[in-house]
Structure 1
């Protein structure tokens, strides 16, 4: 009888651990997909392919900035300036059918831990690798938002 109780408890523990890990894996996979969808809509299409300033405002946190080195200092380009530039460019002579306005992308890496995420995305224009971007995201009560970017222009 002791062996049956021990076996039953062991099987219950294994089932619990398996469920806990698989549930966690499902949550992480869902979070990765949410992050990728946000980056695709707000960044890839918002800032590049569709020049959709509204999508950018929705997906980027208002304190977002692009950070880049300037000598030993850090240059900071705020989201408001970037969104205004995207809106002006779209209102100008922007032709979405022009191949130079078509950007392809590759999610090289997406890492989510709880409410924080890091995305490495490669951007290509006319089959040429132009940028490698590192986007930092946080999950707020309202959902995921892009909060910072550093990049390498090739």
Structure 2
């Protein structure tokens, strides 16, 4: 009789732990999809395809910067300067139908751990890979925001 109770307890524990694992996986996938959606709206379309500075401001944290190596120093390009440049470019006869202004993307990886995420995204223009970007995100009370970028230009 005791063996039956132990077996029932083990089966229940296995069931609960499987349910918790599946729940975490579903939650993680939902977070990944929210992050991808944010990157598409604010980054791929905001900064490249549609030149939508307002979409950029919604998806990027105000302290965001692009970091790149300059000799042995780090160059920092803040979001305010970048978004202003995007708005000016759009105002200067931007043609969304021009193939040079059409950017394709591929999410190479999306990693989420709690309230932190890292996304590797590849950007292509006219069939050629131009950038590999690493975007860092944090989850705030208001949702996910892009907080930093490092990249490689091919």
| Shared fold per TM-score greater than 0.5 | yes
Please list, as runs of the form range in 1=range in 2, the aligned pairs for 1:93-132 lying within 5 A after superposition: 93-132=93-132
In structure 1, the residue matched to 2:2 is: 2
SS of the residue corresponding to residue 88 of structure 2 reads helix
Aligned length: 154
Deviations, residues 75-116 of structure 1 (Å, cap 9, x unaligned): 000000000000011111100000000000000111011000
State the 1:68 CA deviation: 0.4
Q: Distance in 2 between matches of 1:21 and 1:134?
A: 28
| Structure 2: tracts of 5 or more residues without a match | none
Question: Cα distance, 1:3 vs. partner?
Answer: 1.8
2:49 is the alignment partner of 1:49: yes
Runs of 4+ in 1 over 6 A off after TM superposition: none
Q: Provide the C-alpha distance between the structure 1 equivalents of 2:52 and 2:43, rounded to a whole number of angstroms.
A: 9
Equivalent in the alignment of 1:88: 88
Q: Does 1:28 align with 2:28?
A: yes
Which residue is equivalent to 2:66?
A: 66
CA distance in 1, matches of 2:3, 2:135: 54
* Whole-angstrom CA distance in 2 between matches of 1:57 and 1:84: 10
Counterpart of 1:142? 142
CA distance in 2, matches of 1:147, 1:3: 55
TM-score (norm 2): 0.99
Cα RMSD (Å) of the superposition?
Answer: 0.6
